[in-house]
Amino acid sequence: MQKQDGYRRKVLGGTVTTIVTQVLRVGATIGTVIVASRILSPTDYGIYAMAAPVTGFAFMFQNIGFDHAVVQSDEVSDVQLSSLFWLNIGLCLVLALALVAAGPFVAMFYDNTQAGVLVAASGLLIAATAPNPLYNALLNREMRFQTQNLVDIISSVTMFTFTVTAALILRSYWALLAGALASTVMNTFSFMYFERWRPRFTFQWASIAPMVRFGGGVSIYGFALFITRNIDKVLIARVWGPATLGYYDRAYRLMAAPLQNFSGPLSRIILPVLARTREEPQRYRRAYLIFLQGIMTCAVPGVMAAAVGSDATVRFLLGDKWQAVGPIFAWLSGTAAMLLVNESAPWLMMSTNRSKVMMNWGLFASATVVIGFLIGLPWGAIGVAKACFIGEALRSPLLFWLSARDTSVRMWDIAKLHIVTIVSLGAAAATQMVLPAGLSPLPHLVILAIAAYAAAIPAQLLSEPGRELMAMVTGWIGKAARRPMRRPA
């Protein structure tokens, strides 16, 4: 019983500190966006976005999914860890050289020399991050969530500081690479400082082959996900040029903030929980639904408010010269609200060792996303954003069915999570209709956000996990209120 209580405290403490950390990270990210977007031009961001898919593709092969295997495995030996470490170092060095070699071909594809040089220089990024996946997996395995959150904060502050400083000095897209490189180096040093494990000079392929095979399905899914997240930028850059891509990329980055700062970091808490409760169906279902309900309640009303007031959002964050981003951001924000639920589907698949199902879904989703983007491309960045939203809406029911199959979670359980989306969107849209014209961006967004959250919180009572989440939160508040205050000595 004591062990279970300690486990529960770790999960609860990790969840609270992760949410606080991600709020700080969102603040740092938005701060970077606000300052750097006023210094750099759409073309600068467009050139950087041209290089990003190529660099991201190289990162796909960085650890071939073995970090998930480390977290999932019941026992991991020192020999296995050392072998995985050296395998990853070798992979990253090869990939760094591959980026250097790819630079001229990228320049020819885009007919833009600057993008090719940037790709070659990005090899430094992948070399610097080589130890990170394994050290992060070790912290995750040990449930040292607070340490992971501290590393995230250090990385975000470093990114903000170096990007803004470099933008003021360089006044070009190189400032974005400088910020990313500084953040990566700081990440690596922080991981190796807090996690005291050090590799031995040994390598045994037989000891890690099962882990690599498990990671293979996860990696193919990640590869397919990468295609869906980057092919739109490649197509826009090729057909419409760097300036249009710069507008689209700013909208995409704003849309992706909730996904990167909530779903991704919180998944490292829920995955160990699901892996340890998969033999207890009710605990498994309860953990998944309540956890995801909390993410939805925290993030979706804010996303809906920003989407409804997209013009005010862009004017406030980026400035008047980026107004073309507004309609693109509105469509992509709707996609983000769906993805906050849809990107949790791999949690169910990985925790029940269905990496092959996950791989097949990734390939199917990738193919349909590419088709949608090709259909929307003639209408420019807005057409691609609309295709992204419509495609995600059409795929969602099939994904719900596939991910819930063979688990205690039901398809309808997942669908009902979007009650928060519908209610907060309706409240924000109704408020938008009665707001006076000419209202300045900040109060405009604050009023929409208040309306969205005010509607979303009581909407929790319409679903079972929502009611349980409300009961948990009110219980914590009541316990905190009853706790006696300490008198000063």
Q: How confident is the model at residue 2 (pLDDT cuts 50, 70, 90)?
A: very low
Q: What is the pLDDT of residue 70?
A: 75
In this prediction, residues 244-251 reach a mean pLDDT of 89
Place of tokens 């991600």: 22
Structure tokens at 291: 């956890």
Q: What is the pLDDT of residue 263?
A: 62
d(CA 333, CA 152): 24
Tell me the one-letter amino acid at 53: P
DSSP per-residue codes, 430-459: HHHHHSPTT--HHHHHHHHHHHHHHHHTGG
Q: What is the pLDDT of residue 14?
A: 54
CB-based burial of residue 337 (10 Å sphere; 0-12 exposed, 13-18 middle, 19+ buried)? buried
Q: What is the pLDDT of residue 433?
A: 94
| Tens digit of each residue's pLDDT (9 = 90 or more) over 197-207 | 899 888 888 88
- Lowest-confidence region among 146-150, 201-205, 223-227, 462-466: 223-227
Sign for the pseudo-dihedral over CA of 469, 473, 479, 482: negative
The maximal CA–CA distance of the chain, rounded, in angstroms, is 73
| Tens digit of each residue's pLDDT (9 = 90 or more) over 282-338 | 888 888 888 888 888 888 999 999 999 999 999 888 888 888 899 999 999 999 889
Place of tokens 């090719």: 116
DSSP per-residue codes, 147-189: HHHHHHHHHHHHHHHHHHHHHHHH-STHHHHHHHHHHHHHHHH
Residue 159 · residue 92 · CB < 8 Å: no
d(CA 337, CA 220): 25
Residue 330 · residue 310 · CB < 8 Å: yes
d(CA 134, CA 63): 8
Is a pLDDT exceeding 80 seen at residue 56? yes
The answer for residues whose C-beta is within 8 angstroms of residue 285's C-beta and 6 or more apart is 407, 408, 409, 413
| Tens digit of each residue's pLDDT (9 = 90 or more) over 71-128 | 666 678 888 888 888 988 998 999 999 999 999 999 999 988 999 999 999 999 988 8
Domain boundaries, the chain: 241-479
DSSP per-residue codes, 387-443: HHHHHHHHHHHHHHHHHHTTSSS-HHHHHGGGHHHHHHHHHHHHHHHHSPTT--HHH
d(CA 243, CA 241): 6
Place of tokens 């300045």: 440
- Lowest-confidence region among 161-175, 176-190, 344-358: 344-358
Residue 447's Cβ-side half-sphere holds a number of Cα atoms within 13 Å equal to: 16
Residue 424 · residue 456 · CB < 8 Å: yes
Is a pLDDT exceeding 80 seen at residue 258? no
Q: What is the pLDDT of residue 66?
A: 67
Tell me the one-letter amino acid at 282: Q
d(CA 50, CA 285): 41
Q: What is the pLDDT of residue 489?
A: 47
d(CA 351, CA 158): 33
Percent of the chain exceeding pLDDT 90 equals: 31
Q: What is the pLDDT of residue 72?
A: 66
In this prediction, residues 344-350 reach a mean pLDDT of 84
Residue 175 · residue 167 · CB < 8 Å: yes
The answer to whether the predicted template modeling score (pTM) of the entire model surpasses 0.85 is: no
Average pLDDT, the chain: 84
b or e along 286-321 (b: 16 or more beta carbons within 10 Å of the residue's beta carbon)? bbbbebbbbbbbbbbbbbbbbbbbbbbbbbbbbeee
